[in-house]
Structure 1
C-alpha cells in the first residue's frame, strides 16, 4: 500500500522490450536502499524491482500494465515519481493508494495562479470511474484533492512544493497521466451499481 506522497525521482536510463514485456532501468538516490522483489510505485504504477545496484535498478511491466497506463509513452531521460510502500509504523499523510492505475487522463489546461497552478484533466467516463468534489485522486502517484468534478473531468491545485518535487513541472497540455481513483469511492460505486451482467 502507498499513500501518494512522492519521495523522490527516478530517471529512465534504458528501455528494453522482451516479447510483450518492457524492462525499465532507472537511476535514483533510492537505488542503494532497494532490494530485489520490492514493490515501488512509478508515477503511481506498482512495479517490482527485479535487479538493483548502488545507483540503478530495473523493473518490468507486462502488456496489461502498458495498455492501462502511460508507460508506453515513457522515454529515456524521463523523470518518474517514486514512492516506496508505506511502513507499518508510518504516518498516513496522503490517502489509501494501491498502485493499481485505473485509467489514463489527459492534461487539458494549466493555469498559472501567481504562486500556484491549477491543472484541469479529462478522462473517459465510460469506464465508470468518478471523482467527487474535495475527494481524493492519485495523479502519476501523487495524492491530490479534486474540485470542479464532473463526468470525465476534474481539476487540482498544485502548490510550489508539489510542483517542484513531483514531475508536475514537466507536464504539458495534451500529456497523458496515470489516474488511480479513490478506493473507498470505487467500493461504494460497486456496491450501488453491482457488476454488469453478460
Structure 2
C-alpha cells in the first residue's frame, strides 16, 4: 500500500523490452532503503524490485502493464515518480493508494489558478462514478484532490510544491498519465450495486 506522496524523482537508466514485457533499470536516491522483493510505486504502478545496488534498482513490467499504463511510453532518461511501500508506523499523508492503475487519461490542458495551476485530464466513462469534487484521485502516483469534474473530465490543482517534487510539473498537453481512483469508492460501489439493481428491478415490475 502507498499514500501517493512521492519520495523521489527517479530516472530510467535502461529499458530492455521483450515479448513478455520489459526490464526497467532505475537510478534513485532511495536505493539504500530498498531491499530485494520490495514493492515500489513507479508513476503509480506497483512494481517489484528484482535487483538492488547502491545506485538504484531493477523491476520487471509485464506486457499487459506496458499496454495498459503509461509505463509503455517510458524512454531512457525519463524521470518517474517513486514511492516506497507504506510502513505501518508512517503517517498516511495522502490517501490509500494500491498501485493498481485503473486506466490512463490524456492531459487536456492547464489553466493558472492563483499560485496553483489547474490540470484537466480526460476521464474514461467507466471511472467517472468514482470521481467527485473534493474526493481523492491518484495521477502518476501522486495523491491529489479533485477540484472539479464533469462528464469525461476531471481537474486537480497543482501547487508549486507538487510541480517541483513530481513529474507532474513537466507534463504537456496530450501526455498520457496513469490514474487510480479511490479504492473506498470502488468498494462502496461494489457493495451497494446489487441492492441498487434489485431496487430498479422491483420498480420496473
Point out where structure 2 has 5 or more consecutive residues left out of the alignment: 198-205
Partner of 1:184: 184
Larger Rg computed on CA atoms: 2
* Bigger helix fraction: 2
Figure out how many residues of one structure are paired with residues of the other and give that number.
195
- Residue equivalent to 2:68: 68
TM-score by length of 1: 0.93
Deviation of 1:20 after TM superposition, in Å, equals: 1.7
CA offset at residue 116 of structure 1? 1.5
What TM-score, normalized by structure 2, do the two folds share?
Answer: 0.90
What SS is found at the alignment partner of 2:169?
helix
Quick check: 1:129–1:181 contact (8 Å CA) kept in 2?
Answer: no
Paired position in structure 2 for 1:22? 22
SS at match of 1:60: strand
Displacement of 1:151 after TM fit?
2.5
The answer for the alignment partner of 1:104 in structure 2 is: 104
CA RMSD of aligned residues (A): 1.5
2:57 is the alignment partner of 1:57: yes
Alpha carbons 2:65, 2:72 under 8 Å: kept: no
CA apart distance, 1:114 = 4.9
How do 1:78-97 and structure 2 match up within 5 A?
A: 78-97=78-97
Contact 1:130 1:151 in 2 (8 A): no
Unpaired runs of 5+ residues, structure 1, are none
